[in-house]
């Protein structure tokens, strides 16, 4: 078990000088403050009967006065005191963890075939990673497609909502063959075997990566009535930003060698 606490001071933030002459102006200063604290638990299984494994879980809290230098970009021009309260940061992720299981045959394991051991030095590795959603500030529903430069209207406390949980299962099968002084390893690596759709960013109106909630509003229903199924399909298509979700299932076949 490992417990930790870290204070972050002097991070860059935007400040507006209201009383500057001849006109007010903004500049970046080293004023932001934050803390990161948590505990990590790790369990390790040494190789026993060809099996080895590790499991890890981390509980973490990340809070501060601003997630990045431009957090107060809008409020800096409101001619008031800058917020100094501490709230969950955009990268605050409460729960993360992983489970790794490795099964590996020894050189002389398995049946003999044509004078060799086809299952010798064969390994199978499974890696499961998971995590809770990142913090975000819930806002009033508006269209993300037609909103242009319109700003958000918060309906909750800063960082009070979280996105969906994510998980990913990876699998790697490999076989090592020794020729003279060289070790060749052929492998099949399947990334995100279950093809899970993991949100890396969400629309703050709904907390989902592919829905802004607009079509369920009165204005959205008017849009549906006017443009019909084709309009709805196009609207949903425009909401699907590939950058908002993680990579899909991938299969990689490779060969590596060690001297």
Q: DSSP states of 174-235 as a string?
A: EEEEEETTEEEEEEEEEESTT----BSS-BTTTTBSS--SGGGSHHHHHHHHHHHHHHHHHH
> Could you list the residue range(s) of the whole structural domain that residue 247 is in?
97-259
Same domain, 186 and 159: yes
Across all residues in the chain, what is the average pLDDT?
Answer: 89
If pLDDT is split at 50, 70 and 90, which confidence band does 14 have?
confident
The rounded percent of the chain whose pLDDT value lies above 70 is 93
Q: Is the pTM of this model over 0.85?
A: no
Residue 16: pLDDT band (50, 70, 90) is: confident
22 and 7 in a common domain: yes
CA 253 to chain centre: 26
pLDDT of 23 reads 82
111 and 228 belong to one structural domain: yes
**Mean predicted confidence (pLDDT) in 177-182:** 82
Please check the confidence at residue 232 and state whether its pLDDT lies above 90: yes
Neighbours of 149 (CB within 10 A): 4
Instruction: Please say if the pLDDT value at position 19 is more than 90.
Output: no
pLDDT score of 77:
61
Cβ contact 69:14 at 8 Å: yes
Predicted confidence (pLDDT) at residue 147 exceeds the cutoff of 80 = no
Tell me, yes or no, whether 82 and 115 share the same domain. Answer: no
pLDDT for 122: 92
CA distance 116 to 136: 58
71 and 126 co-located in one domain:
no
Residues 71 and 130 in one domain: no
Rounded CA-CA distance 106/122 in Å is 8
Do 84 and 102 lie in one domain? The reply is no
Nearest to residue 196, comparing CAs of 125, 239, 252, 246?
A: 246
**141 and 70 within one domain:** no
| Residue 59: CA count within 13 A, CB half-sphere | 4
pLDDT of residue 76: 59
From 70, 92, 114, the end of a domain falls on 92
Same domain, 234 and 124: yes
188 pLDDT tier (thresholds 50, 70, 90): very high
Please indicate, yes or no, whether residues 88 and 102 belong to a single structural domain of this protein.
no
**Count of domains for the chain:** 2
Is 149 a residue whose pLDDT tops 60? no
76 and 194, same structural domain? no
Does one domain contain both 22 and 74?
A: yes
- Picking from 71, 92, 113, the residue at the C-terminal end of a domain is 92
């Amino acid at each position: 078990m490992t417990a930790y606490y870290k204070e972050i001071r002097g991070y860059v933030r935007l400040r507006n000088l209201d009383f500057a002459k001849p006109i007010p102006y903004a500049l970046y200063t080293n004023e932001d403050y934050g803390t990161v604290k948590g505990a990590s638990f790790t369990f390790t299984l040494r190789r026993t009967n060809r099996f080895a494994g590790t499991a890890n879980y981390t509980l973490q809290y990340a809070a501060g006065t601003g997630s990045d230098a431009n957090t107060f970009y809008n409020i800096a021009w409101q001619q008031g005191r800058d917020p100094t309260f501490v709230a969950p940061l955009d990268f605050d992720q409460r729960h993360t963890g992983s489970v790794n299981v490795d099964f590996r045959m020894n050189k002389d394991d398995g049946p003999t075939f044509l004078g060799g051991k086809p299952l010798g030095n064969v390994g199978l590795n499974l890696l499961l990673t998971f995590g809770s959603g990142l913090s975000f500030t819930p806002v009033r529903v508006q269209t993300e497609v037609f909103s242009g430069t319109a700003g958000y209207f918060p309906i909750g406390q800063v960082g009070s909502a979280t996105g969906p949980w994510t998980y990913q299962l990876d699998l790697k099968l490999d076989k090592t063959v020794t020729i003279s002084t060289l070790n060749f390893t052929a492998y099949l690596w399947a990334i995100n075997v279950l093809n899970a759709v993991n949100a890396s960013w969400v629309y703050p109106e709904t907390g989902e990566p592919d829905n802004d909630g607009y079509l369920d509003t009165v204005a959205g229903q008017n849009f549906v009535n006017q443009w019909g199924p084709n309009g709805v399909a196009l609207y949903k298509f425009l909401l699907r930003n590939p950058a908002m979700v993680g990579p899909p299932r991938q299969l990689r076949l490779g060969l590596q060698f060690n001297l």
